[in-house]
Amino acid sequence: MHILISNDDGIYAPGVKALTDALSGGEYEITVVCPDRERSAMGHALTLQEPVRVDEIKGYFHPDVKAWACSGTPSDSMKLALDAIATSRPDLVLSGINRGSNLGTDVLYSGTVSAAMEGVLEDLPSIAFSLTSFVSTDFSGAAAFAQTIVKAIATNPLPESMLLNVNIPAIPKEDICGVVVRKLGIRRWKDVFEKRVDPRGKTYYWLAGVVIEEEAAIDTDVQGIRDNYITITPLKYDLTLHSELISLDKWTDKFLKNS
């Protein structure tokens, strides 16, 4: 089984090291292509106005792992891996383990989720892993669960190519209540732009903010994490609001047919 791994925290991030180490040295062929530095919250951004450069990384991962650092975004890294670097088509795409959660509407901005979605665009099953803490450096529990779910997919393939968005609580393993499948909740940020002045007297803004978790219904990933469960949410790239296709067609026919 050939596994392709990327992330948005950079090639030397502890999360991708823990994920790769957990899967190395056994039955899997592993290729790693990650940004060469922190590239969080890049979404599906692509580098189009300058070249994307790569450097092979040796001596950092397990000797059997082939790894490269990419100067571009998470999506650049995955596209480059799929179309130019990987010597064979992967069977599974993984992204992470991210430092910090990717819950609810975070998935629209997340470079971790976007990298994994590139796999789905190529009809490959994909998983985005996130540890729900920005301060914890212990990725061992999340990496152990990654081993479990990868093994399950290897022996019991998913019914179709989809992205599994997986969030793991940053708590001791014995305190995790189990694994649940949940829909996305709503997780909005109250944006705060801190105004600053650089040494040349030019004004600039630094984006910060606080999370406002507005929807925490029992069937959402947000509430699942609050209840100390590992949450799994199946995602696809189709953003069509299917429930409104008929009503919008009627509205268009009534108000726009003569425009």
CATH for 112: 3.40.1210.10
Domain range holding 101? Answer: 2-184+217-255
Give domain status of residue 208, yes or no: no
Q: Which residues contact 198 (CB under 8 A, 6 or more apart)?
A: 204
pLDDT value of residue 144 = 96
Give domain status of residue 11, yes or no: yes
Least Cα distance to 133 among 259, 220, 15 occurs for: 15
Tell me how many domains the chain contains: 1
pLDDT value of residue 50 = 94
DSSP codes, the chain: -EEEEE-SS-TT-HHHHHHHHHH-SSS-EEEEEEESS--TT-TT----SS---EEEE-SSS-TT-EEEEESS-HHHHHHHIIIII-SS--SEEEEEEEES---GGGGGT-HHHHHHHHHHHTT--EEEEEES-SS----HHHHHHHHHHHHHHHHS--SS--EEEEEE-SS-GGG---EEE-B--EEEEEEEEEEEE-TTS-EEEEEEEEEEEEE--TTBHHHHHHTT-EEEEEE-S----GGGHHHHHHHHHHHTTT-
CA 197, CA 204: separation in Å to the nearest integer? 6
pLDDT value of residue 259 = 64
* Mean per-residue pLDDT of the chain: 93
Q: pLDDT tens digits, residue range 149-203?
A: 999 999 999 988 899 999 999 999 999 999 999 999 987 777 788 899 999 999 9
pLDDT value of residue 188 = 75
Give domain status of residue 196, yes or no: no
Q: What are 52's two structure tokens?
A: 């994307």
CA 36, CA 195: separation in Å to the nearest integer? 29
Give domain status of residue 90, yes or no: yes
Amino acid in position 64: D
Main-chain dihedrals φ then ψ at residue 97, nearest 5 degrees = -80, 125
Give domain status of residue 117, yes or no: yes
Give domain status of residue 191, yes or no: no
Give domain status of residue 201, yes or no: no
pLDDT value of residue 241 = 93
16 in Cβ contact with 106 (< 8 Å): no
Give domain status of residue 205, yes or no: no
pLDDT tens by residue, the chain, 259 residues: 999 999 999 999 999 999 999 999 888 999 999 999 999 888 999 999 999 999 999 999 999 999 999 999 999 999 999 999 998 999 999 999 999 999 998 999 999 999 999 999 999 999 999 999 988 889 999 999 999 999 999 999 998 889 999 999 999 999 999 999 999 998 777 778 889 999 999 999 988 777 766 667 889 999 999 999 999 999 999 999 999 999 999 999 999 977 6
